[in-house]
Structure 1
Amino acid sequence: MQLDIHPLHPVFAAEVIGLDLTQGTDPELANKIHAAMDQYSVLVIKNQHLNDDQQMAFAQSLGTLESTPAQVSIDKQRLKHRAMVDISNLDESGALLGANDRRRLFNLGNMLWHTDSSFKSTPALYSMLHARAIPPEGGNTEFADMRAAWDTLAPAVQQRIEYSVCDHSLLYSRALLGFDAFTQEEQQTFAPVPQRLVRKHPGSGRRSLFLASHIGAVHGMPRPEALMLIRDLMEHATQKERVYAHPWQVNDLVIWDNRCTMHRGRAYDDQRYTRDMRRLTLQDSAPTLLQPA
């Protein structure tokens, strides 16, 4: 079968029409989804009435799940599956997180431009986020096309950065918000890891910037200069013409390729309205330094 695909943006992102993922995913459908991801990098699939087990099964049909989500207070879990990341404003009893709850303050970092799991030695392949409950306004997710960001860089900048290596850590991104309430164990878990700044996307053969707010250093560069470079690249990558903003509806499933996109959540009134989103993340094949440049 052919996927019914409708582009959502001139550069990337598309909606897939007519799928019912509760019926399972065979290898042919999985291959078609991979091909569509290689082209569009963000896929929106609406009206997916998935439970946690069905979302897990779909994710596993496309690759290997990350086993350890990056969260704080992991002893307070609301969801059935440890691999499923709770992108919500709810505590383990289903009540709204308090304004000073460290989980809420930590999760505010999701509103920074970032790439999932770039702070892990082997970073992420795809992420897939399913909407179970959404606020009446706000809470959109924005995506930036990092292949287009590379293509539109000045040649002199491309030449300057093409072999650069950056250190990524959740400690760096949360420090931007003044959050430093990490336990000693969390500090060890989130210790910086090196990643290429420029990657070759294997499915499309195109080059891509690998950026995130998790970057806190560029090897061989003084830190102030490094952070200024990263800020300039982030501003370039997130210009309006390279960004798709997704307005969520209940039962939307959105899949994105972390190798060639960056994303961020937008604000909503999390002290008044419930937002229940559940994410699964697939692991990439190897650390970026071990992948072809």
Structure 2
Amino acid sequence: MPGQTIEVIIPVRDMADHLPGLLRPLLDQLSDGDRVTVVDDASDDDTAAVARSLGANVITLAKGGGPYYARQVAASRSAADILLFIDGRCRPLPGLLDAHRALQSQPGIVLSCTNVHTLSGPTLAARMAAKMQPFMLPRGGGAMKAVVGLVPPRPDYYPTCNLGIDRIAFEKVDGFRAMRGGGDLDICWRIQDQSLGTIGTDTRVLMEWEPRASLRDLASQWKRYGNSNAYIRWAHRNDNLAKVDPASSYVSPSEAWATARTELRRSPSELAAIAVLGLAFQYGYFAAQFKRSEFEMPVPIEITGDAEAR
């Protein structure tokens, strides 16, 4: 349906400086009935004020609940046909919204994504992220395959840096589960496992992504990936995940990791940085294993009274 409406949902915390480059090109693409909602997850800076001044709808959270909670708050209030989840580091390019609209107008498509190109920068961390290109779809078309160990039986998924979800399908699976990371993979699997539809992909680069500038922040990101990998393995423990290799991130396919190891051989500092990321991932993964008693049966996120729309 060409007339499908889209609500773009963006969870952010202390990202006021990122918002102009994110929101201006996005707001230029809106059609009748579309809107952009920024969920300010208990920021200490001017995130909410900047988002509002640029023309976005703003929901403020009194206390930080994490990105999936923030997404769930906005999605639970939406009446749009398509929920498009992106994040504060995204830089939309012309045609992004129309591409998601076109994909989701196809029969059986309830999930959608386009290619996301990771930008480079002056720091080692930024250059590494650009070489890895963790969000790029495979050359020659086709969807990104399930990337928890690239297990063939599992459905495709795409990260919430550029993931469109049909609102009805989203509601039928009760939205995101209560988890700090891996919620994008989890909801894509649940939607497809319940035969609600499949994922459609547009391999054009219609989004750019600004990487973290410091190696410390990048390592922290990979630690979260390791933790999420452990949780996903547990949550889907009956889904043939015994073959999953814990050395591969749920966000970056193992082929991207292998590419990084071979292409970043030009300096000792780059090799050391690769080792740091690998250790960070392993630490996050095995730390989660030791805290497995904290794992609970995944449940839908419950929306509390700490959100205020402005």
Give the structure-1-normalised TM-score.
0.27
The structure with the largest strand share of the pair is 1
The structure with the largest helix share of the pair is 2
Give the structure-2-normalised TM-score.
0.26
